[in-house]
């Protein structure tokens, strides 16, 4: 759930007009052609071509966007100025004339009242302008003729007014019609489905907008995990759908009855048991995979099972949300994180291997692991190691006012000697439960209580399990706080907008089952494009003519 407050609009509207000024400079306006009928002279055809915006400016201090409520907004921008250059050409019967000109527009205003609502057909937000009034107080037109043609000299005043009307009408039309249409194209391009590269699922989004003293965007997301059904199971565990209801009231919850929850739990248990058997019996792994593929080829249908986590009501009301002085707030229910982890686990993605080259500068050898497995460097001296880690169950995230954020995980860890001549022997296999609590803010992380418990499942060497417990606890307490949410987002999220948006003055809060973060937004605009040599020469020639 995302909350945007008036402070964000006050800041963003100024930045938006700065960005608009950069973008409009050097932009071409569509050509204009119209027939005019003037007394005595009669009718003639006027064409305006090569209309170029050479300068556009607007004052951020004279612009504001106000939330009116019930989905309505008021945009008022003043002190807008623009300079346009163009070429003109007229024809009348067999006669014609041509030249160039420039138009200076000053004291412009944009005054919109518009509504943002969710289009039921598109399932996306759309902008509808209710009232629009865009005008310029001062219009200064200069027209230059390439020749002293008789029509230009005869109807100079009328001709100037005709050009003024055409250019100003074109600018007003762009502000009142083309700009809203372009905004709706952007809104219409918002994804209702997002395929995340490197992850085994896509996410389908539904969202609603509410306005009061702030704008609230409430969303629901569904994660699909297509898998073929098990060949010997009447209740296939594949095809898992993780539904995350990011709700703000108790009415919006993941709809799971007791029967559906029981079926989901049974399906998950069946999947876990099947995976464990296949992992322990390596010789049967190919047979299991082939059997699943054969079942899919025979027409077995995927079945979708709801994620067994429900969202609850946000524990703060609208007055508390509105009183927050920061620009935006993001509220996340723990079911969001748990459904994501649940989907990753059931798709077999919570496994990884640490080996030579996995982490730059990290080399794992039997000598380094001597503290955890004392006999290892004696039996396998100076040999490289592989550490395999796989989750034994879906990790769980919980939020609470007392403990902050808590992550619990169960995993299996195996140590393999990386020596092909010896057959890459597995020398130690451990099962572990780990719990980490802490306060995770945007720019800092503070690790609180850490617990770890290891049990030896199989080993050809003597393994002090308690030493493993102490080592894992020490590593998490001393190194877990070095990674902030900011660093994690920079590392994992690779989008163009991520390099332009920065959060400042961020503060995180946890309630029971909810995590919230409020922050101010800072935008870094890209530098304006350098004008081309041809455009610079054109501007210089126009200045010399004037």
402 has a pLDDT exceeding 50: yes
Per-residue model confidence (pLDDT) at position 423:
92
pLDDT (tens digit per residue) in 269-316: 433 343 333 333 333 333 323 333 333 334 433 445 567 788 888 888
Per-residue model confidence (pLDDT) at position 231:
42
261 or 372: which carries more pLDDT confidence? Answer: 372
Asked if 262 and 256 touch (Cβ cutoff 8 Å), the reply is: no
The CATH classification number of 8-190 equals: 3.15.10
Distance CA 485, CA 405 (A): 13
**Mean pLDDT over residues 209-230, rounded?**
60
238 or 88: which carries more pLDDT confidence? Answer: 88
Asked if 418 and 384 touch (Cβ cutoff 8 Å), the reply is: yes
Q: How confident is the model at residue 378 (pLDDT cuts 50, 70, 90)?
A: very high
Per-residue model confidence (pLDDT) at position 183:
65
For the whole prediction, is pTM greater than 0.75?
A: no
- Is it true that domain 350-493 has CATH number 3.30.1330.40? no
Q: How confident is the model at residue 152 (pLDDT cuts 50, 70, 90)?
A: low
148 has a pLDDT exceeding 60: no
118 has a pLDDT exceeding 70: yes
Query: Could you tell me the residue ranges of all domains in the chain?
Result: 8-190, 350-493
Per-residue model confidence (pLDDT) at position 204:
58
Distance CA 469, CA 96 (A): 92
136 or 354: which carries more pLDDT confidence? Answer: 354
55 has a pLDDT exceeding 80: yes
202 has a pLDDT exceeding 70: no
**Mean pLDDT over residues 334-345, rounded?**
87
**Mean pLDDT over residues 211-225, rounded?**
63
**Mean pLDDT over residues 377-392, rounded?**
93
In order, the DSSP letters of 346-381 are HTT-SEEEE-TTTSTT---BTTGGGGTSTTHHHHST
Distance CA 196, CA 219 (A): 18
């Amino acid at each position: 759930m995302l909350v945007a407050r008036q402070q964000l609009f006050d800041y963003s509207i100024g930045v938006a007009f700065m960005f608009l000024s950069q973008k409009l400079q050097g932009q071409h306006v569509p050509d204009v052609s119209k027939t005019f009928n003037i007394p005595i002279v009669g009718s003639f055809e006027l064409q305006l071509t090569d209309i170029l915006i050479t300068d556009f400016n607007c004052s951020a201090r004279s612009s504001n966007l106000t939330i009116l409520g019930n989905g309505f907004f008021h945009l008022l921008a003043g002190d807008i100025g623009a300079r346009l250059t163009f070429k003109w050409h007229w024809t009348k019967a067999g006669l014609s004339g041509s030249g160039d000109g420039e138009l200076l527009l000053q004291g412009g205003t944009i005054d919109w009242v518009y509504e943002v609502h969710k289009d039921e057909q598109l399932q996306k937000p759309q902008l509808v302008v209710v009232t629009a009034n865009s005008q310029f107080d001062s219009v200064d037109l200069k027209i230059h003729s390439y020749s002293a043609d008789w029509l230009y000299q005869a109807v100079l005043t009328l001709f100037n007014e005709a050009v003024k009307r055409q250019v100003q009408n074109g600018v007003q039309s762009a502000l009142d019609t083309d700009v809203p249409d372009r905004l709706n194209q952007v809104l219409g391009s918002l994804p209702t489905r997002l395929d995340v590269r490197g992850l085994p699922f896509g996410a389908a989004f539904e969202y609603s907008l509410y306005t009061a003293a702030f704008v609230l965007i409430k969303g629901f997301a569904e994660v699909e995990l297509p898998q073929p059904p098990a060949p010997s199971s009447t209740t296939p565990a594949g095809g898992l759908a993780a539904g995350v209801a990011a709700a703000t009231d108790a009415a919006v919850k993941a709809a799971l009855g007791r029967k559906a929850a029981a079926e989901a739990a049974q399906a998950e248990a069946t999947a876990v048991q099947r995976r464990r058997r296949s992992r322990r019996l390596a010789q049967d792994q190919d047979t299991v995979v082939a059997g699943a593929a054969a079942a899919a080829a025979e027409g077995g249908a995927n079945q979708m099972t709801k994620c067994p986590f429900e969202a609850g009501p946000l524990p703060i009301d609208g007055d508390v949300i509105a009183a927050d002085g920061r620009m935006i707030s993001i509220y996340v229910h723990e079911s969001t994180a748990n459904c994501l982890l649940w989907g990753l686990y059931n798709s077999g993605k919570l496994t990884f291997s640490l080996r030579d080259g996995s982490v730059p500068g990290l080399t794992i050898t039997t000598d380094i692991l001597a503290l955890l497995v004392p006999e290892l460097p004696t039996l396998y001296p100076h040999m490289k190691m592989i550490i395999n880690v796989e989750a034994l169950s879906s990790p769980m995230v919980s939020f609470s006012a007392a403990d902050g954020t808590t992550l619990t995980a169960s995993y299996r860890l195996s140590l393999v000697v990386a020596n092909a001549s010896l057959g890459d022997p597995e020398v130690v296999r451990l099962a572990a439960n780990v719990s980490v609590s802490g306060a995770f803010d945007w720019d800092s992380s503070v690790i609180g209580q850490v617990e770890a418990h290891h049990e030896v499942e199989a080993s050809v060497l003597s393994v002090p399990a308690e030493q493993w417990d102490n080592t894992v606890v020490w590593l998490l307490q001393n190194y877990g706080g070095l990674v902030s949410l900011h660093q994690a987002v920079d590392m994992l999220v690779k989008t163009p907008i991520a390099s332009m948006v920065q959060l400042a003055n961020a503060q995180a809060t946890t309630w029971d089952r909810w995590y919230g973060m409020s922050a101010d937004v800072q935008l870094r605009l890209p530098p304006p494009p350098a004008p081309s040599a041809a455009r610079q020469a054109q501007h210089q020639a126009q200045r010399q003519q004037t």
